[in-house]
Structure 1
Amino acid sequence: MTLHETRAGRMLTDAASIGGIATLVRAQPPTLGTTRLVLVDGPGGSGKTTLAGRLAEALRGRPAGGARAADSDAPGAAGTSVQVLHADDMYEGWAGLPTLGDIVIDQVLAPMARGEAGRFRVWDWHRHQRGHEVVVTARDVLIIEGVGVAMRRARSLASLVVWVEADPCERLRRGIARDGEDTRDDWERWQVSEREEFEREGTRAAAHVWVDGNCSLPD
């Protein structure tokens, strides 16, 4: 993933690496109480989860403990405390993109903006129901990654918005490789839904950092 450019003509040439993006994050003022909110958005299969995990490691100064929503540091941990949330844990299945804001805004960001803990129940894709609860408390950095997370209402609370994109055919290949050939129709419908979402929300143009998910961004 190679850094492209930023909005408003402001080139962030010092962020051509994961470490560079981490430096940008640290340089931003907190926007969610004492927390810097980083939103990593872009079409499915572009590399958002990988980037979010690597960014969390760079901020923490040590490897992450896992890749799920519950992966977080306790306050006071060495380095920068980070929590990573994944939109895949929030959507109510393949048709869940339109209601993502109910979780991201109403259950996570709005409570945190009031100085309270956010909380939501993880969607179980196999049982088609909500499962265990994830509690989101103040950290140095909160990273939320996934298609649609940088909606307008969320961007107003963000310190940094990162857009990740890749070739559509490659994204479809990655998605099917991960989820199985029997999800091809779901993935193709999803690609239509996400295009409509991004056009409606103006997400790509609003991002501070653009990343090419076809390539590998150096540490």
Structure 2
Amino acid sequence: MARVSVLGVANPVVVVDGRSGAGKSSLARRLVAAWPGLGRVQLVALDDLYPGWGGLAAGAEYARETVLTPHARGMVGVWQRWDWQSDARAEAHAVDPSLPLVVEGAGVLTPESARLADVTVWVDAPSSSRKHRALDRDGDTYRPHWDGWAAQEEQHLVAHDPVSLASVVVRVP
């Protein structure tokens, strides 16, 4: 919270990244609930943007193109939710550039997105607790995709080194 408070801007952008089950979504929701200041804070979760189980990189790029870049330019961003059942984009959502914005999801913190954010966060947790939390949360839906998703996360870590781009690192047991 302190990092957001000292910015002194009306519409700061916080990007929260970390591997599956690390606690990104919980942290982002807590951040929005405790936001310093009045008014609404927009929260965009990449779980709503990834185009399927093989789409970590594509979802992060989509977030940069449709949410982060327009917000940085003072323009309304419009993104479409990914409907996992129909395997297609669904209804559209607008992002108001005059309001604060929190974007969270695995793969979102890249050199390009870091330049568009005021605060960058990496959430870290041990592999065993991450897997336990993720599978408890999503169960049999996620279980067959865990290894493939973890491989995409590993590619993201190697390609972008998001930990080095984070202005804040949060460690979760």
Q: TM-score, normalised by structure 2?
A: 0.92
Q: 2:31 aligns with which of 55, 78, 84?
A: 55
How far apart are the structure 1 equivalents of 2:34 and 2:73? 28
Q: Is the 8 A contact 1:84 1:144 kept in 2?
A: yes
Aligned to 1:213: 172
Q: 1:106 aligns with which of 55, 65, 69?
A: 65
Q: Is the 8 A contact 1:41 1:162 kept in 2?
A: yes
Q: Is the 8 A contact 2:46 2:60 kept in 1?
A: no
How far apart are the structure 1 equivalents of 2:142 and 2:75? 38
Local SS of the residue matching 2:93: strand
Structure 2 unmatched runs, 5+: none
Aligned to 2:11: 35
Q: 2:75 aligns with which of 104, 116, 119?
A: 116
Q: Is the 8 A contact 2:70 2:97 kept in 1?
A: no
Shift of 1:60: 5.5
The reply on whether 1:169 has 2:128 as its aligned counterpart is: yes
How far apart are the structure 1 equivalents of 2:141 and 2:22? 20
How far apart are the structure 1 equivalents of 2:163 and 2:2? 22
Q: Is the 8 A contact 1:89 1:122 kept in 2?
A: yes
1:1-219 to 2 correspondences below 5 Å = 22-28=1-7, 30=9, 35-59=11-35, 79-214=38-173
Shift of 1:113: 2.6
Shift of 1:114: 2.6
User: Partner letter of residue 17 of structure 2?
Assistant: D
Higher mean alpha-carbon deviation, 133-142 vs 200-209, is at: 133-142
Structure 1 unmatched runs, 5+: 1-21, 62-78, 215-219
How far apart are the structure 1 equivalents of 2:127 and 2:164? 18
User: Partner letter of residue 88 of structure 1?
Assistant: D
User: Partner letter of residue 39 of structure 1?
Assistant: V
User: Partner letter of residue 48 of structure 1?
Assistant: K
Q: TM-score, normalised by structure 1?
A: 0.74
